[in-house]
C-alpha cells in the first residue's frame, strides 16, 4: 500500500466517523468485541487457505485498527502516526540482530533476546503483559513458551509425558475424594501439562483443538443429515444409530 493509498483510507474512516450516525456513536469499548471477532475471522480464512477471504478479512481488521485510532485521536490520546512510530521503534529495538551489531546463532537465541529486551523496556516481570483475555489454552502455551526461553523448562519430552500421566492420576484421585474446586484445579493441571507436551512436539494446542472442533462439527453434521433424511429428529434416534453414522462420517469428512 502506498502512503497516499493509506492516507486516503484513513480519510474515509474519518468521514464515516463524522457523517455516519452509527459510526459517530461508537467508542473503543463498544467495538472491541467486534475487533476480536475480526481477528478470529482472519484466522479462519488462514485455516481454510482461502486467500480471497483472507484479503477481505485483513481489510476488516485494518479498518478496526484505523477506527480505534481515529476515535482515540478525537480525545487527543494519539494519532495514526503515533501508532506507526510506536511499532516501528519496537521492531527496530527488538531486532538488534537486523538493525544493530548483535550476532545470533538462530531463532531460539532471537526469541531469548526478545524476552530480555522486553524486560529491559520496563516490564515488571517475564509474564507481565500477558493478555488475560487470551483463550486459556493459547495463554497456557504462551506462558510456557516465555518461561522456557529463560531456561525454566523440561529437558526431555519423556519427562513431560510422565508429568501428564501424573496429573491425570491426581485428577482421578480428586474425582474420588476431593471437592469440586479441587477437581477443577486438577483438571486444569491436566490441560496445562498436555499443552506443555504439545509444545515439546512442536504442535500449537490452540490450532490443534480448533481443527478438532471443526472436524467434530462436520462429522456430527453428517450424522444429523443422515437421520434427518430418514424423516426423524435427532432426539428420535438411538445412540447405536448415531454411532453407525459417526463411523461412516470418518471416511467421508476430513
Report the chain's mean pLDDT, rounded to a whole number. 92
Asked if 236 and 228 touch (Cβ cutoff 8 Å), the reply is: no
Residue 218 in grid coordinates:
462436520
pLDDT of residue 109: 85
pLDDT tens, residue by residue, 228-244: 999 889 989 999 999 99
Least Cα distance to 71 among 21, 17, 22 occurs for 17
DSSP assignment letter at 51:
H
DSSP assignment letter at 153:
S
pLDDT tens, residue by residue, 105-131: 888 888 888 778 877 787 778 888 788
Statement: residue 153 has pLDDT above 90: yes
Class of domain 3-92: mainly alpha
Rounded CA-CA distance 119/125 in Å is: 7
Q: Which helix (H) or strand (E) holds 183?
A: helix 180-200
| Domain positions in the chain | 3-92, 154-203, 207-249
Least Cα distance to 220 among 240, 234, 231 occurs for 234
Asked if 237 and 227 touch (Cβ cutoff 8 Å), the reply is: yes
pLDDT tens, residue by residue, 11-42: 999 999 999 999 999 999 999 999 999 999 99
Amino acid at each position: 500500500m502506498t502512503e497516499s493509498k493509506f492516507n486516503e483510507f484513513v480519510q474515509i474512516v474519518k468521514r464515516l466517523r463524522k457523517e455516519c450516525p452509527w459510526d459517530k456513536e461508537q467508542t473503543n469499548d463498544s467495538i472491541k468485541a467486534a475487533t476480536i471477532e475480526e481477528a478470529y475471522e482472519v484466522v479462519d480464512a488462514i485455516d481454510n487457505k482461502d486467500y480471497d477471504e483472507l484479503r477481505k478479512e485483513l481489510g476488516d481488521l485494518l479498518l478496526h485498527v484505523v477506527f480505534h485510532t481515529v476515535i482515540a485521536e478525537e480525545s487527543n490520546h494519539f494519532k495514526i502516526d503515533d501508532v506507526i512510530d510506536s511499532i516501528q521503534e519496537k521492531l527496530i529495538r527488538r531486532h538488534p540482530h537486523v538493525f544493530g551489531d548483535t550476532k545470533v546463532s538462530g531463532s531460539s537465541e532471537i526469541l531469548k533476546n526478545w524476552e530480555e529486551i522486553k524486560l529491559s523496556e520496563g516490564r515488571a516481570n517475564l509474564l507481565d503483559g500477558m493478555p488475560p483475555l487470551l483463550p486459556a489454552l493459547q495463554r497456557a502455551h504462551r506462558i510456557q513458551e516465555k518461561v522456557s526461553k529463560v531456561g525454566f523448562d523440561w529437558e526431555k519430552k519423556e519427562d513431560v509425558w510422565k508429568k501428564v500421566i501424573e496429573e491425570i492420576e491426581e485428577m482421578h484421585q480428586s474425582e474420588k475424594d476431593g471437592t469440586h474446586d479441587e477437581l477443577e484445579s486438577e483438571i486444569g493441571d491436566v490441560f496445562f501439562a498436555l499443552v506443555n507436551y504439545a509444545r515439546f512436539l512442536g504442535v500449537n494446542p490452540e490450532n490443534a483443538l480448533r481443527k478438532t472442533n471443526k472436524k467434530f462439527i462436520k462429522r456430527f453434521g453428517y450424522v444429523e443429515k443422515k437421520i434427518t433424511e430418514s424423516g426423524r429428529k435427532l432426539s428420535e434416534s438411538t445412540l447405536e444409530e448415531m454411532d453407525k453414522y459417526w463411523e461412516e462420517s470418518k471416511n467421508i469428512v476430513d
